[in-house]
Amino acid sequence: MQRRHCIALGLALGIAGGSALAASPRGPVLVLVLGDSLSAEYGLARGKGWVSLLQQRLQAGKERLPVVNASVSGETTAGGRSRLPALLAQHKPSVLVLELGGNDALRGLALQSTQGNLQAMVKAAQEAGTKVLLVGMQVPPNYGSAYTQQFADLFAQLAAKEKLPLVPFLLSGIGDARDSEQWFQPDRIHPNAKAQPHMLENVWPRLKPLLK
């Protein structure tokens, strides 16, 4: 898999709009998504990203569960870690979908730092009574076989240690497909609208059990 098709690592700013509804501790299940450009609808029309599709699916259900998308293009695990406490206090989510780490790899940040930030976010969420779904990422082989494997293992190891459900690779079937070109925007980095339903289906089997 080529580098340009592996991870959406745009540095554009902006927050994808999600539901602004907040849940009380005894209110309905609320899903908070904390991610980077993969989850922030980068380069897409509003409402076409996988998080928006998730929101539409949950709103169409019997319980009409709310979703807050707090994803920011270019976000690192350090940035997510700094923002998460306020988000937990404001929205009181029942479930946190944690999709961060790709930009750490792009910037060549130490794996120990990425792992430490992810673990701190997991701990903060759990202490707030929030379930966590960890979303894994992969980097292309040209990063070096050792780094590539260690980066992928980072998510699996954290999920095992904290007993978290894990989406091994958000872009499975897209970024690692032989015909991956058709799933990406002209920049050859960010998944296009056609890819978004596939991304949701990669997440859904791990997320659904947490919504009960």
85 SS3 class = helix
Whole-number percent of the chain with pLDDT over 90? 74
How many Cα atoms are found within 13 Å in the side-chain-facing hemisphere of 19? 23
Q: For residue range 10-36, what is the model confidence (pLDDT) as tens digits? A: 333 333 333 333 333 446 799 999 999
Which of 121-125, 177-181, 187-191 comes out lowest in average pLDDT?
A: 177-181
Answer for the pair 31, 58: CB distance below 8 angstroms, yes or no: yes
Catalytic residues: 37, 187, 190
Q: For residue range 63-115, what is the model confidence (pLDDT) as tens digits? A: 899 999 999 999 999 999 999 999 999 999 999 999 999 999 989 899 999 99
Burial class (CB in 10 A: 0-12, 13-18, 19+), 61: exposed
Per-residue confidence band for 175, with pLDDT thresholds at 50, 70 and 90? confident
Q: Is the pLDDT of residue 46 over 50?
A: yes
Q: Is the pLDDT of residue 135 over 80?
A: yes
Q: Is the pLDDT of residue 122 over 70?
A: yes
| φ, ψ (nearest 5 deg) of residue 166 | -135, 130
Give the mean pLDDT of the chain.
88
CATH fold of 13-211 reads: Rossmann fold (3.40.50)
How far apart, in Å, are the Cα atoms of 84 and each of 17, 126, 130? 17, 12, 12
**CA 84 distance to own-chain centroid:** 14
Tell me what pLDDT residue 140 has.
77
Tell me what pLDDT residue 93 has.
98
Q: For residue range 157-172, what is the model confidence (pLDDT) as tens digits? A: 999 999 999 999 999 9
Q: Which residue has the higher pLDDT, 146 or 189?
A: 146
Token reading at 200: 């949701």
> pTM of the entire structure?
0.87
